[in-house]
């Protein structure tokens, strides 16, 4: 039995996710940008929220926690390393820890770079990875706290997950991420096809998340810093993968 996944648009361009195990009735929320749309979704589905899993400390991922906990008494789980700047944690998490939703297990993966305490949650049985502002659809988070080396290492960990994994990321930035990607990887046919699909989805008001890891590997320039064609096009033929990643990230910051 797979977890049921619900994608909830929040604020201007954030996403929260609900996962629900039908057999046990267990429900978890990943990130809490704002309470109203999340509580409305729980109410509409008749689900009782048990756990809130937090990816990182930024306000647009935690601001809804207090109101949601007041309404649901859900437990709060997040990175132990960031306990001082997250809402009061019921349980602090470190890499390798496991969270449980019904009969399914979610593995905690350290993915520093956007912030130093950023974690991801990977549920292998359902093929879901909650990556928030680390690996994003067509891009990756800005390096507010971590180094390019840290983010490259984080992305390499996520790139090792099974290619069919659904990447549940934190923002609707895909269209602009792919416009940038096309400047790095202009002859990539898979990228051009994805731009067409994303443009149609946005015109129809549909989210472009979750996205499949296989598609990210084929089109996301931040996962392609090892690609000799991309290195050469950037004038970095002999650079390391991490150096190439750093260059792509710096170009994106100015895009
Ligand atoms: Zn963030
Ligand atoms: Fe964010």
pLDDT tens per residue across span 200-216: 999 999 999 999 999 99
- What is the spatial distance between Cα 139 and Cα 170, in angstroms, rounded to a whole number? 11
How does pLDDT run across 233-248, given as a tens digit for each residue? Answer: 999 999 999 999 999 9
Query: Per the structure block, which two tokens stand in for 107?
Result: 């593995």
Three-state SS at 14: strand
- What is the spatial distance between Cα 240 and Cα 231, in angstroms, rounded to a whole number? 9
How does pLDDT run across 57-78, given as a tens digit for each residue? Answer: 999 999 999 999 999 999 999 9
Query: Per the structure block, which two tokens stand in for 184?
Result: 């790095």
Question: Residue 79: pLDDT above 80?
Answer: yes
User: Mean pLDDT across the stretch 193-198?
Assistant: 98
How does pLDDT run across 28-37, given as a tens digit for each residue? Answer: 999 999 999 9
- What is the spatial distance between Cα 32 and Cα 62, in angstroms, rounded to a whole number? 5
Q: How far is the CA of 170 from the centre of ligand 2 (A)?
A: 6
Give the model's pLDDT for residue 16: 98
- What is the spatial distance between Cα 191 and Cα 197, in angstroms, rounded to a whole number? 10
Question: Which CATH number fits the domain that encloses residue 98?
Answer: 3.60.15.10
How does pLDDT run across 94-117, given as a tens digit for each residue? Answer: 999 999 999 999 999 999 999 999
CB 52 within 8 A of CB 26: no
Q: How far is the CA of 135 from the centre of ligand 1 (A)?
A: 11
The total of structural domains in the chain comes to: 1
How does pLDDT run across 135-180, given as a tens digit for each residue? Answer: 999 999 999 999 999 999 999 999 999 999 999 999 999 999 999 9
Q: How far is the CA of 146 from the centre of ligand 2 (A)?
A: 15
Q: How far is the CA of 228 from the centre of ligand 1 (A)?
A: 30
Q: How far is the CA of 62 from the centre of ligand 2 (A)?
A: 10
- What is the spatial distance between Cα 186 and Cα 188, in angstroms, rounded to a whole number? 6
**In terms of residue numbers, what domain contains 199?**
4-253
Q: How far is the CA of 233 from the centre of ligand 2 (A)?
A: 30
Residue carrying structure tokens 């991922």? 61
Q: How far is the CA of 99 from the centre of ligand 2 (A)?
A: 22
Q: How far is the CA of 127 from the centre of ligand 2 (A)?
A: 23
Sign of CA dihedral 22, 24, 25, 30: negative
Q: How far is the CA of 174 from the centre of ligand 2 (A)?
A: 13
Average pLDDT over the chain, rounded to whole?
A: 97
pTM of the entire predicted model: 0.98
CB 32 within 8 A of CB 86: no
Residue 236 CB-half CA count within 13 A: 18
Query: Per the structure block, which two tokens stand in for 209?
Result: 């998340």
- What is the spatial distance between Cα 213 and Cα 131, in angstroms, rounded to a whole number? 11
Q: How far is the CA of 56 from the centre of ligand 2 (A)?
A: 9
Give the model's pLDDT for residue 196: 98
Q: How far is the CA of 235 from the centre of ligand 1 (A)?
A: 31
Give the model's pLDDT for residue 96: 97
CB 28 within 8 A of CB 52: yes
Question: Residue 1: pLDDT above 70?
Answer: no
């Amino acid at each position: 039995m797979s977890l049921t996944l619900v994608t909830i648009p929040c604020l201007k361009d954030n996403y929260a996710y609900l996962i629900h195990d039908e057999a046990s009735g267990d429900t978890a929320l990943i990130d809490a940008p704002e309470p109203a749309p999340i509580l409305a979704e729980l109410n509409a589905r008749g689900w009782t929220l048990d756990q809130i899993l937090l990816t990182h400390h930024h306000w647009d991922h935690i601001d809804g926690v207090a109101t949601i906990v007041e309404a649901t008494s859900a437990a709060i789980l997040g990175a132990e390393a960031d306990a001082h700047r997250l809402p009061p944690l019921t349980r602090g998490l470190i890499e390798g820890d496991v969270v449980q939703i019904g009969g399914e297990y979610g593995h905690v993966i350290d993915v520093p770079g956007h912030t130093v305490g950023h974690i991801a949650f990977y549920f292998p049985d359902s093929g879901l990875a909650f990556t928030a502002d680390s690996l994003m659809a067509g891009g990756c988070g800005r390096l507010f706290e971590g180094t390019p080396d840290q983010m490259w290492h984080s992305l390499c960990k996520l790139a090792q997950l099974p290619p069919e994994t659904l990447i549940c990321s934190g923002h609707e930035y895909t269209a602009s991420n792919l416009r940038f990607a096309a400047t790095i990887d202009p002859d990539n046919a898979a990228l051009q096809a994805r731009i067409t699909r994303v443009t149609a989805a946005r015109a129809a008001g549909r989210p472009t998340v979750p996205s499949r890891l296989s598609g990210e590997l084929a089109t996301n320039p931040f996962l392609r810093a090892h690609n000799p064609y991309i290195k050469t096009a950037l004038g970095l033929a002999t650079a390391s993968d991490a150096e190439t990643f750093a260059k792509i990230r710096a170009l994106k910051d100015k895009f």
